[in-house]
Structure 1
């Protein structure tokens, strides 16, 4: 058992942690039917698992019910987009028999077809009204440190608006504000920290001295389970963070060490201007469906630091959240974590290189059509030769463009393999001598096929 400073409340933690996270603190109480929003997200998935393990019935809500059933088959799934749930009537049919709601949903910023204010504020405001109307009493809101209706950052202000609506309601509510959540599942901020920590040779860090307090996903999950049943936590808001504060550089270096990567030769403090440029690129990619954690909102949050005070939580429960060191000790650090971190770092580069390869191939074919036609004109009629070059070039451009969109990227990767094999097959029949070309015209296609297969295997958001 981990030793804690006397008087911190942490000395109770080891004895009570298993009870808290397993949900057994509800001994003697009837099971609940709980609606969990964002149920396959970083926090929502672990909360849903803990509630089910404790004997509760979970009605899980996420954008894709099909994906939800794959990751959590023993929940009842509702597939809907919160940005479309902005009227009280939208919720009424989903609250039948529900006794409690856990909101673990959220978004960083506006994206195509989805406004942040709808996802984090309007939908939750109408849900609260629907809960009051249907008799749902308990509501646990996962918010964020610094969330307030007056916050300058939209991510925090919309969270704060939902918090304020809940606090004004007649519901039995609890608001939890976790710091930087560290979890075995790599998504969002956790994924970003891991991929940055995987950087070879040196360790780049932006806002290296920004203060950060972390929290284990197990502590967040345990707090949610307890909040559903402990009257002492009713109608109160709590920060959930470790006691100690670190710099962002210290957090990333700790994760690097946990992943068993070599110590960096040097820590490089990335200029904010470069970081902002990268964030703008990530913002642009979001409009193509790529929801990177390295967007403008993330940088703004990191620049301001992620700090809070969990003193109220410790006083109310006698439970001190794990430190970063304790959190990392509890997490697996195996080959799969290291491979994931490295692949996550290079995945955007792979997609971009593939896209540029196909776009360049198509454009070059159109620009130098006459030269391309001369290569095959001895084997094909002139009209068919021209049509083949133009058609192939347009196909290349289509594959390159499809690779840029998240929704079509995996299909485009597989199409890349198919088109490459088609070209090799036709080329072998029409111009077999190119296999012996000193420039490796055909041979170079083989690595591109391998790259496409590798990229296809990486395109998975969660």
Structure 2
């Protein structure tokens, strides 16, 4: 049985490639940097847990020495705490193709339509540099450049597209005339498996996508219809200065670990359009690619799709609300320290113990309010919020049970805060 190794195998595109290669009879091994994420997607797959941007050429020679096919489906949209574009798109590719030099393996590089050395974003420029490394190598290489990839799984740009199409009543128009082509993720994966089998030869570059081009406005309307929502009552043109502001905010959040599809690179890419020329793929005898209508027909929208589309919009608002709530609680505790102490001292708690309790509460509030904004700590912060709130209600009921009947509801208001923390913790999934 032939062996295939897929880099980025638990990602949106990588996972589809794993399934397509398995269907073609390959024994597939996945490469990814998170064992937890890997096991969620393919619990029975053989996994190599590595950060590809840090893996040495000597390690790649050992890991890929018996591979017949190597598929590079890894990538990142923008630099951040977790990602370095040059390291992932160029440095890692240099070491991989060097390790494969002189072997019989076919190396399939999944790039992106529109890459060039003078592209407007670092994503496209580094992808172009990585492609150039592949083309100059001594491997049996193939480079496939898909357009906008859609599928039943919503992640990144495809998740944002669903969310923007699901806004209630009023829609926002952004880059309405930007040209867009699409491809079903399964068509992309089938193309990878087809090319990897040697049916089309090697040493070629091909764009992958449907032949028809849509404007972004048309695509958004079609996705809204696919979700089952009626036409918007009105549409508002979103000014570019506001989009730039949103992109800058998303970039800053990227340094806290949030890989938002609203980052500057994504917005610039969308503004430029996402199109390719699939003629070379067709001329080589490549598999047919479905149109947008056929793609959407193949992934019918369900209640889960509609719920996800709305929840995707609400999650960042919910996280922001939690952060503001806890940070303000801590700041108000600092500003009203004596009043906070008096709640306990008036109920026969010693001044020293009351001061320690108030200070502890202030520190916990500020730490949790800040921690929920950091991606790798956000779920733990939610768990901390639930525990601290529970302790607050427990000890508060013991020491000051009368506050349950207070007209301002200091205890009652904690209950929806707990529920909001539970809601955010359950929705914090990368894949």
Q: For this structure pair, what is the TM-score category when the shorter chain's length is used for normalisation?
A: over 0.9
Q: How much does 1:67 deviate?
A: 2.1
- Cα RMSD after superposing both structures: 1.3
TM-score (norm 1): 0.91
The answer to whether the 8 Å contact 2:191/2:286 transfers is: no
**2:223 is matched with which residue?**
255
Is 1:112 the counterpart of 2:78 in the alignment? Answer: no
Among candidates 351, 361, 374, match of residue 329 of structure 2 = 361
Among candidates 260, 265, 273, match of residue 305 of structure 1 = 273
Among candidates 15, 31, 34, match of residue 45 of structure 1 = 15
Q: Deviations over 1:316-374 (max 9, x none)?
A: 22643111111000003111111111111110000010011001101110111011111
Is 1:390 the counterpart of 2:359 in the alignment? Answer: yes
Q: Deviations over 1:151-182 (max 9, x none)?
A: 34211111111111111222221111100000
**1:10 is matched with which residue?**
none
**2:371 is matched with which residue?**
402
Q: Distance in 1 between matches of 2:151 and 2:241?
A: 30
Among candidates 194, 204, 208, match of residue 240 of structure 1 = 208
Q: Distance in 2 between matches of 1:162 and 1:268?
A: 39
Is 1:346 the counterpart of 2:314 in the alignment? Answer: yes
Q: How much does 1:69 deviate?
A: 2.2
Q: Distance in 2 between matches of 1:443 and 1:108?
A: 43
In structure 2, runs of 5+ residues without a counterpart are: none
The answer to whether the 8 Å contact 1:213/1:308 transfers is: yes
Q: Deviations over 1:191-250 (max 9, x none)?
A: 111111111111113211111111111210110010011343421111111111111111
Change (3 A) 1:208 1:223: same
Matches within 5 A, 1:143-154: 143-154=111-122
In structure 1, runs of 5+ residues without a counterpart are: 1-30
Among candidates 185, 191, 209, match of residue 217 of structure 1 = 185
The answer to whether the 8 Å contact 1:139/1:172 transfers is: yes
Q: Deviations over 1:122-155 (max 9, x none)?
A: 101110010005x143011101112123434211
Q: Distance in 2 between matches of 1:32 and 1:250?
A: 43
Is 1:460 the counterpart of 2:429 in the alignment? Answer: yes
Q: Distance in 1 between matches of 2:184 and 2:90?
A: 26
Count of residue correspondences: 430
Among candidates 179, 185, 190, match of residue 147 of structure 2 = 179
Stretch deviating more after TM superposition (151-160 or 299-308): 151-160
